[in-house]
A = this chain, B = another copy of it.
Amino acid sequence: MTTISKLFNITYPIVQGGMIWCSGWRLASAVSNAGGLGLIGSGSMTPDVLTEHIRKCREATSKPFGVNIPLLFSYAETFVKICIAEKVPVVFTSAGNPVRWTATMKDNGINVAHVVANEKGARKCVEAGVDAIVVEGFEAGGHNGKEETTTMVLVPLIRQQTELPLIAAGGIGSGQAMLAAFALGADGVQIGSLFAAAEESSAHPHFKQKIMEAREGDTFLCMKKLVPVRLLNNHFYQEVQKLEQQGAPAEKISALLGRGRARKGMFEGDIDEGELEIGQVAAAIQQIKPVQNIIDTLIQDFLAGKNKLSGISF
């Protein structure tokens, strides 16, 4: 068993990233049932909706699952309390300072991991006493760091600074990439894009179709004057890009963004005007598959790759 499997009491060291509008109880429970760790992405939920998803997830799986809480979200404190009250076994926090809530959750028996995109974030994780750090590279979908450090570079850098279990994220869309993450020093992986496109994901079918069609070079990290976010190229993205190339100030980009763009794109399926958060690895996704199939393939390819590597000598 790997460090991460032991920590979360799961079969495979594969965490499904908590993604707004894509990862409700259906996706999270499917991942947990298939031997990984499913996460309910709370960032697009109200307190009532989160409670409902936690309860439905528990009905749908007897395995451990978790909740992802973006700490800068207005409901963060409420969500921490809900997870404690509902006895959720694992919480992944992101977008904010892990020092604020980690001890409280751990005192209540919750295993806590925090997502970082740079070394500074990793140092805060150590200070906060988290159980594991998610190290997310530039290639990941959704919100990301200003440093633009890739998975290949960031995982070894943070590995040198801490012995805490590390979960690599960003660019991991195959068992081969999962193996690469372990070679870099990770103890597990967090996978977003592959699961956003899974059958059980609550992403709109139009968004899933758009992921299938994505090719290399079709996603970009943008809105760097606000919070950097990786989006799929569509009409909305092109409008953002136009403003950015003109040197538009943050307020103007914020006004264009408006409210509800992510819901519009990912959940309601407006693939032209919506915000479509996805990783670079979308270029490698060709098929909408059930979670069980995705995880089986990841593990088969990881093991086959490991055997192949073992044959290399100089």
Return chain B residues, CB-CB under 8 Å to A170: 150, 152
Return chain B residues, CB-CB under 8 Å to A281: 153
> Which residue of the partner chain B has the closest CB to A175?
B183
Q: Is A147 engaged at the interface, CB distance under 8 Å to the other chain?
A: yes
Query: Does A150 contact B179, Cβ atoms closer than 8 Å?
Result: no
Query: Does B216 contact A149, Cβ atoms closer than 8 Å?
Result: yes
CB distance from A302 to the nearest CB of B (A): 8
Query: Does A182 contact B312, Cβ atoms closer than 8 Å?
Result: yes
Return chain B residues, CB-CB under 8 Å to A12: 314
Return chain B residues, CB-CB under 8 Å to A145: 217
Query: Does B185 contact A153, Cβ atoms closer than 8 Å?
Result: no
CB distance from A312 to the nearest CB of B (A): 6
A181 to B312, CA, bound (A): 13
Q: Is A85 engaged at the interface, CB distance under 8 Å to the other chain?
A: no
Query: Does B152 contact A150, Cβ atoms closer than 8 Å?
Result: yes
A171 to B183, CA, bound (A): 13
Q: Is A127 engaged at the interface, CB distance under 8 Å to the other chain?
A: no
* Interface 1/0 per residue, A271-312 and B, CB below 8 Å: 000000000110110000000000000010000011001101
Return chain B residues, CB-CB under 8 Å to A119: 215-217
A45 to B108, CA, bound (A): 65
A312 to B11, CA, bound (A): 13
- Which of A145, A183, A221 is the most central at the interface, judged by chain B CB atoms within 10 Å of its CB? A183
Query: Does B312 contact A309, Cβ atoms closer than 8 Å?
Result: no
A182 to B137, CA, bound (A): 19
- If A153-B139, A247-B248, A309-B309 touch, whether A146 touches B217 (CB-CB below 8 Å) is yes
Query: Does A217 contact B2, Cβ atoms closer than 8 Å?
Result: no
- Which of A118, A137, A146 is the most central at the interface, judged by chain B CB atoms within 10 Å of its CB? A137
Q: Is A76 engaged at the interface, CB distance under 8 Å to the other chain?
A: no
- Which of A146, A157, A160 is the most central at the interface, judged by chain B CB atoms within 10 Å of its CB? A157
> Which residue of the partner chain B has the closest CB to A299?
B314
Q: Which of B156, B174, B180, B247 contacts A246 (CB 8 A)?
A: B247
> Which residue of the partner chain B has the closest CB to A181?
B180
> Which residue of the partner chain B has the closest CB to A307?
B310
* Interface 1/0 per residue, A206-244 and B, CB below 8 Å: 000000000111001100010000000000000000001
A-B contact pairs, 27 of them (CB 8 A): A1-B314, A2-B312, A5-B314, A119-B215, A138-B150, A139-B149, A139-B150, A145-B217, A147-B217, A148-B217, A148-B220, A148-B221, A149-B283, A150-B170, A150-B280, A152-B180, A153-B173, A153-B216, A156-B174, A156-B176, A160-B284, A176-B184, A179-B183, A183-B183, A225-B245, A247-B247, A309-B310
Q: A11-B314, A150-B150, A182-B309 given. 19 additional CB < 8 A pairs?
A: A137-B150, A137-B152, A138-B138, A138-B139, A138-B148, A139-B149, A149-B280, A150-B151, A150-B152, A153-B216, A156-B173, A156-B177, A156-B284, A157-B216, A157-B283, A177-B184, A180-B181, A183-B183, A306-B309
